[in-house]
Homo-oligomer: A and B are copies of this chain.
């Protein structure tokens, strides 16, 4: 039985509280809800990629209390869009379980993080269709993001034998590798980044969750059974949900199921995981510079400047990032971006 790919339900995950894009991203103004690339926010862009115009069903957004005002402000007018308000943060296995338990058994979910950038929306749509077709045949499908560099911050998917007309079995899930292994993966060509985008048919996902993590499945089911709706919001029961162990869908399900597949996706993807990643994802001039706000650059190359107001003048620098936000100024080397989250300003928000 092959599901109609136009009947894919986006399940959009709005959790977490990153500090790696501080000071632009703040506790009260998290990354998905900022216009980091282009005019819209990353959350809005995620919605647009998965909209009715793009051929998708109305989305289910899974988020927490802290993000709820942002979600509702940016969710738009779709009356069939729903929001599941997690009583506490329990990672992606539980979040996806909540959505699955609110959907029909035969629905195909497309699980999407809300804080990534995808430059090529046509490639995304094609991969989503391919993944949904496999999901409708019972596969649990991960997007395998075309690896462009030996990143050590991502998990990798090792490609196995072909399944369907555009997918492959996952031969192995590989944890974040060191640089040497990542370089081997890149040279090998048979490895993709695991970008956290998945297609699951509801009944298959729940069956595998019940098989491998019965406690999570059972508590999620109680949380939904004892939950209540309020307009388009749904509130799972807090006590039941609190019992759940935090675990990613990768660990809980994907690494255990015998039906793990992947579809390759070369779609100009970035997790915008730090300021340097944002620099790479933004439009740059011939010198590699990218500016937002009132900026004057003299003798600069590969410089990112992002100011919310003050004029920023930069002379004679390469590979640096300058961010002005409110009462904070961040100046970092491209290599230093990994330490942004540890700055006292980022830690003590």
> Smallest Cβ distance from A132 to chain B, in angstroms?
42
- Binary contact readout A323-338 vs B (1 if CB under 8 angstroms, 0 otherwise): 0101111111101110
Q: How many copies does the complex hold?
A: 2
Q: Cβ of B345 and Cβ of A296 under 8 Å apart? A: yes
Q: Find chain B residues with CB under 8 A from A299 CB.
A: 336, 339
Inside 8 A of A313's CB, which chain B residues have their CB? 23, 328-332, 343-345
A298 at the interface (CB under 8 A from B): yes
Residues of A33-64 whose CB lies within 8 A of B: none
Residue pair B332, A314 in contact (C-beta under 8 Å): yes
Q: Once bound together, how far apart are the Cα atoms of A345 and B311, in whole Å?
A: 8
Say whether A73 faces chain B, with CB atoms less than 8 Å apart.
no
A284 to chain B, nearest CB (A): 18
Taking a contact as CB atoms closer than 8 A, the residue among B298, B311, B326, B336 that contacts A315 in the complex is B336
Interchain CB contact under 8 A, B309 and A339: no
CB of A310 closer than 8 Å to a CB of B: yes
**In whole angstroms, how far apart are the Cα atoms of A317 and B330 in the complex?**
12
**Closest B residue by C-beta to A329:** B312
* In the complex, A322 has a CB within 8 A of chain B: yes
Closest-by-CB residue of B relative to A309 is: B327
A327-B311 Cα distance, complex, nearest whole Å: 6
Given that A296-B345, A345-B296 are contacting pairs, would A315 and B329 also be in contact in the complex, using a CB cutoff of 8 Å?
Answer: no
**Given contacts A317-B320, A317-B336, A329 and B307 within 8 Å (CB-CB):** yes
Q: Which chain B residues border A320 with CB–CB below 8 Å?
A: 317, 320, 331
For the complex, what is the distance from the CA of A317 to the CA of B337, rounded to whole Å? Answer: 11
A329 to B313, CA, bound (A): 6
Is A340 an interface residue when CB atoms closer than 8 A count as contact?
yes
Which residues from B are CB-within-8-Å of A23? 313
B316, B326, B328: which contacts A335 (Cβ < 8 A)?
B316
Q: Are B310 and A332 in contact (CB under 8 A)?
A: no
Of residues A311, A312, A329, which shows the largest number of chain B Cβ atoms within 10 Å of its Cβ?
A: A329
Residue of B nearest to A23 (CB): B313
Closest B residue to A334 by beta carbon equals: B316
A296-B345, A343-B296, A345-B296 given as contacts; is B310 within 8 A of A333 (CB)? no
Task: Tell me whether B329 and A316 are in contact (CB under 8 A).
Answer: no
Which residues 286-326 in A have Cβ within 8 Å of B in the complex? 296, 298-299, 307, 309-317, 320, 322, 324, 326
Residues of A with Cβ closer than 8 Å to B? 23, 296, 298-299, 307, 309-317, 320, 322, 324, 326-333, 335-337, 339-340, 342-345
Which are the 4 A-B pairs with shortest beta-carbon distances? A316-B336, A315-B336, A316-B333, A315-B332
Known: A313-B328, A316-B339. 4 other contacts (CB 8 A): A298-B339, A313-B345, A314-B331, A317-B336
